[in-house]
Structure 1
Amino acid sequence: MGEALRTIAFKVKTASCGGTQCVNSFGDEQLAVDMLANNLLFEALKHSHFCKYACSEEIPELQDMGGP
């Protein structure tokens, strides 16, 4: 999880926030860095084996993370 957070912090500092990727289910514009952060966190949760389900603003449906 710590590595995911370090990667996200670096990407946010160095990202160009000019373009959007799409609009999420709440009607908010999603930047590519939003989706990157979301994917990194979900991958970290899957590999932690501590989290059963997760959802986010980008993916509001429950996702199985494989935990107990």
Structure 2
Amino acid sequence: MTHQRDNRQVRIPGAKDHNITDHCKKFGISSSEERKLRKLLGNDAPLHEIQANSAPRQPRFR
């Protein structure tokens, strides 16, 4: 007698897409940089893609 095994695959959800325009406004990214990101990634992209392709942020001095 053979046992039948349940062959379920676990679905790991992907990264949530973020609106690039909202992200740029929130972090003070220039409009030219925003245009570059939208051209490269579209209007929505995962956060790690936005951060990897944007220029380093300017430091905030207190």
Assess same fold via TM > 0.5: no
* More relative contact order, 1 or 2 (CA 8 Å, 6+ apart): 2
TM-score for both structures, normalised by structure 2: 0.31
Q: Higher strand share goes to which structure?
A: 1
TM-score for both structures, normalised by structure 1: 0.29
Q: Rg larger in 1 or in 2? A: 2
